[in-house]
């Protein structure tokens, strides 16, 4: 009698990896479908774009995998033929290829990457990111099961780093119909406002239903939540990772809200924090990737809590508005370390293990507290990074936008401008700029001040006066770009600003326009007008 021994594992469940991955694919396809329907309701071309992004991303990944595995599969096919000459070489090669492709799950990464990109993304950007994602993120590490990083996140971050400026962030209704525009997603608006929801028109229901700007997949928070629960019940994903990730973020945001002086409103504030941006999508679809997770249950908890901490830190303390992708990559990198630290802890020594988790949770709370205080202070002194302008835009009425621009160092505002800008989108001109207030601490602001042309507030600052006749260049600048006796074309502003948004570059250029060193306030005006033009969809 002949005994045959099959390789381990001997105890098998009926569900194979393939079946689990197919369930995940169906879940992702549902989110994709929802986004396609949503974008079709906005406009046919946007709906088509949503379909195309998904197809291009998935197809690119499959093609790259096909080409990568082709030499090996041909070799396998030839070998099979050399053993049994009745077989067809081409057929055998295709069989081997079919097995490779169906066990590499390139389409899952493809769909996730597509859902992580905004609808305005040019298709060649999708293509290049998909190639980098699958090749550098997965195949070069040895294929499915050997990759250190989540391939889709690699692709997303590559797209962010390379094409950050050309990633149009979504669509919004503007005077000239629905247009794609860059920049002001809810996340970046919040980030510009130091994550304070006051003064911003943010509705929790709107966030939950996905009716706002963002990437293709990340906005449908409620749908993702339901799908996440179903997947967790069917054990496609591990419930611990998303629960601890979102839970830690919620807790940290809650504490941050209390310390920021929100009182009972903190609960809503924290809820907004976790439903905005890619948190939910990242938690359910990206963070749970079993290949890049630690293997032990407690390792998974540490992984999730750590990712939440990184997201929190990046969101609150760094200039990037969206921290989810970076935090996932960082934790992917730490996964082997977590696995090694946790090894041996799983059966005995429960105390140290939970001590580590508790410690991290505690750290998150401390972080929340400190960020609450820091945030509060930050809101008071109103500063962003040095030399960087930030702005908050609100639409007052049709074609009229209210914008607040500020720039400076900690505790010191170098430039602060508040104004209403009226645009004429059909003729692409700025028709009226109504200045509400601006800072004057020497230079251009003062030149305007003593010109007696407009009302001002100086916040009680001391200043040196410049009579109007001594500042003819500044006044000419004012007459041309701000007073606007006749409407001025968008391009005039955009060209002036495109000299570079680093102040030194602009400053040297501005020597010809206004006097040296008087550029902060002037640049604030130009920056503000350009932001409004971008916001309204007037930039081309």
Residues at the contact surface with another protein, assessed by CB under 8 A: 124, 128, 136, 140, 158, 161-163
Pairing status of strand 390-397 against strand 400-409: antiparallel
Pick 1 or 161: Cβ nearer another protein? 161
Pick 36 or 135: Cβ nearer another protein? 135
Find all residues with CB under 8 Å of 441, minimum gap 6, and list them. 414, 458, 461, 463
Pick 78 or 234: Cβ nearer another protein? 78
**Dmax (CA) of the chain:** 110
Pick 131 or 334: Cβ nearer another protein? 131
Shortest Å distance, C-beta 124 to another protein: 6
| Residue 93 · residue 77 · CB < 8 Å | yes
The helix (run of H) or strand (run of E) holding residue 521 is helix 519-536
Residue 500's CB: how many other CB atoms inside 10 A?
A: 12
| Residue 242 · residue 282 · CB < 8 Å | no
Pick 141 or 178: Cβ nearer another protein? 141
Shortest Å distance, C-beta 76 to another protein: 16
Q: Which of 442, 522, 509, 441 is nearest to 476 (CA)?
A: 522
Measure the CA angle with vertex 135, ends 130 and 138; round to 5°: 100
Pick 141 or 456: Cβ nearer another protein? 141
Pick 122 or 261: Cβ nearer another protein? 122
User: Token digits for 305?
Assistant: 């809590």
Residue 86's CB: how many other CB atoms inside 10 A?
A: 5
User: Token digits for 270?
Assistant: 């924290």
Shortest Å distance, C-beta 139 to another protein: 11
Shortest Å distance, C-beta 163 to another protein: 8
**HSE on the CB side for 99, CA within 13 Å?**
9
For residue 424, the SS3 value is: strand
Shortest Å distance, C-beta 53 to another protein: 17
Integer angstrom CA distances of residue 103 from 123, 144, 170, 403? 27, 8, 34, 53
Pick 122 or 442: Cβ nearer another protein? 122
Pick 161 or 264: Cβ nearer another protein? 161
Shortest Å distance, C-beta 136 to another protein: 7
For residue 434, the SS3 value is: strand
| Residue 443 · residue 435 · CB < 8 Å | no
């Amino acid at each position: 009698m002949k005994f045959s021994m099959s390789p381990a594992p001997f105890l098998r469940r009926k569900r194979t990896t393939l079946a689990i991955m197919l369930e995940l694919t169906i879940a992702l396809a549902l989110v994709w479908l929802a986004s396609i329907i949503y974008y079709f309701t906005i406009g046919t071309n946007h709906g088509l774009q949503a379909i195309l992004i998904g197809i291009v991303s998935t197809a690119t990944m499959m093609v790259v995998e096909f080409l990568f595995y082709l030499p090996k599969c041909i070799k396998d096919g030839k070998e099979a033929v050399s053993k049994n000459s009745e077989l067809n070489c081409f057929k055998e090669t295709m069989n081997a290829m079919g097995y490779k492709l169906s066990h590499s799950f390139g389409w899952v990464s493809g769909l996730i990457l597509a859902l992580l990109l905004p609808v305005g993304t040019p298709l060649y950007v999708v293509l290049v990111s998909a190639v980098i994602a699958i090749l550098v993120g997965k195949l070069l590490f040895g294929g499915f099961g050997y990759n250190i990083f989540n391939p889709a996140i690699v692709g997303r971050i590559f797209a962010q780093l390379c094409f950050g400026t050309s990633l149009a962030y979504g669509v919004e209704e503007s005077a000239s119909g629905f247009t794609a525009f860059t920049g002001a997603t809810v996340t970046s608006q919040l980030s510009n406002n130091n994550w304070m929801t006051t003064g911003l028109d943010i509705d929790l229901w709107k966030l939950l239903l996905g009716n706002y700007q963002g990437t293709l997949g990340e906005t449908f928070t409620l749908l993702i939540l339901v799908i996440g629960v179903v997947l967790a019940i069917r054990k496609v994903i591990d419930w611990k990772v998303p629960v601890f990730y979102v839970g830690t973020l919620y807790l940290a945001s809650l504490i941050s809200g209390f310390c920021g002086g929100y009182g009972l409103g903190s609960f809503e504030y924290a809820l907004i924090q976790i439903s905005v941006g890619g948190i939910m999508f990242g938690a359910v679809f990206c963070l749970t990737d079993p290949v890049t997770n630690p293997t032990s249950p407690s390792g998974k908890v540490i992984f999730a809590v750590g990712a939440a901490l990184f997201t929190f830190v990046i969101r609150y303390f760094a200039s990037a508005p969206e921290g989810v992708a970076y935090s996932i990559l960082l934790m992917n990198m730490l996964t082997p370390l977590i696995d090694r630290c946790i090894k041996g802890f799983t059966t005995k020594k429960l105390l140290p293990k939970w001590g580590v988790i508790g410690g991290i949770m505690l750290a998150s709370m401390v972080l929340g507290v400190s960020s609450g205080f820091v945030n509060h202070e930050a809101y008071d002194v109103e500063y962003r990074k040095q030399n960087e302008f930030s702005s908050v835009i609100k639409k007052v009425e049709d074609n009229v936008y209210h914008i607040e621009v500020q720039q400076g160092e900690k505790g010191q505002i170098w430039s602060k401008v508040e104004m209403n800008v009226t645009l004429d989108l059909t003729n692409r001109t700025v028709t009226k700029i109504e200045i509400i207030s601006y800072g004057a601490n020497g230079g251009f602001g003062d030149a305007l001040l003593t010109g007696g042309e407009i009302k001002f507030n100086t916040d009680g600052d001391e200043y040196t006066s410049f009579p109007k006749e001594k500042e003819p260049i500044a006044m000419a600048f004012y007459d041309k770009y701000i007073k606007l006796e006749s409407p001025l074309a968008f391009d005039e502003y955009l060209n002036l600003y495109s000299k570079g948004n680093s102040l030194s570059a602009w400053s040297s250029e501005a020597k010809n326009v206004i006097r040296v060193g008087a550029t902060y306030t002037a640049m604030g005006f130009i920056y503000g007008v350009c932001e409004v033009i971008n916001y309204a969809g007037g930039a081309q």
